[in-house]
Amino acid sequence: MINFEHTGVKIKCKPENAAQYRRLMDKPPKAKSISEKRDYPQWHAEMSTADYLQKYLILNDRRRMIACGHDCPNIYNIPAMYDGTTAEVLEELDPDYEYTPTIKARKITAKQAIVQALDALKAGDVDTAQCILTEALK
């Protein structure tokens, strides 16, 4: 191990790594980049679009953003509010549509299948008993 000082920093390392340490310390520091995270102003019902954009640009001024050049005729108007009691999209309902919920078949044990098949046989339903046993054997 060797000790050396380079640009005011004392380093203790193996002799074969000393040149690499000097080379890394001679590199200029990386420039700090401006964070891409943006801030958004609080919106109020009485604000126009232009008011919101102005507050947005003030909050994000440090990012040196390019000014928006969009000119629309209602930028200084207060946006219309939606009524929450009515649907935003009105669709025609299909009068022939019937909702049929799907019921997932649950797995039963062989013992439960035999008991259910015997109950079906006692009731005289041979087809149901056969279906129960066929499903249990799958």
pLDDT beyond 60 at 114 = yes
Confidence band (pLDDT; 50, 70, 90) for 81?
Answer: low
| 4-11 LR contacts (CB < 8 Å, sep 24+) | none
Per-residue pLDDT, 67: 66
Per-residue pLDDT, 122: 92
Per-residue pLDDT, 84: 59
Question: In degrees rounded to 5, what are phi and psi of residue 11?
Answer: -130, 140
**pLDDT, greater one: 91 or 45:** 45
For the full predicted model, state whether its pTM sits above 0.75: no
69-81 burial, b at 16+ Cβ within 10 Å, e below that, comes to: eeeeeeeeeeeee
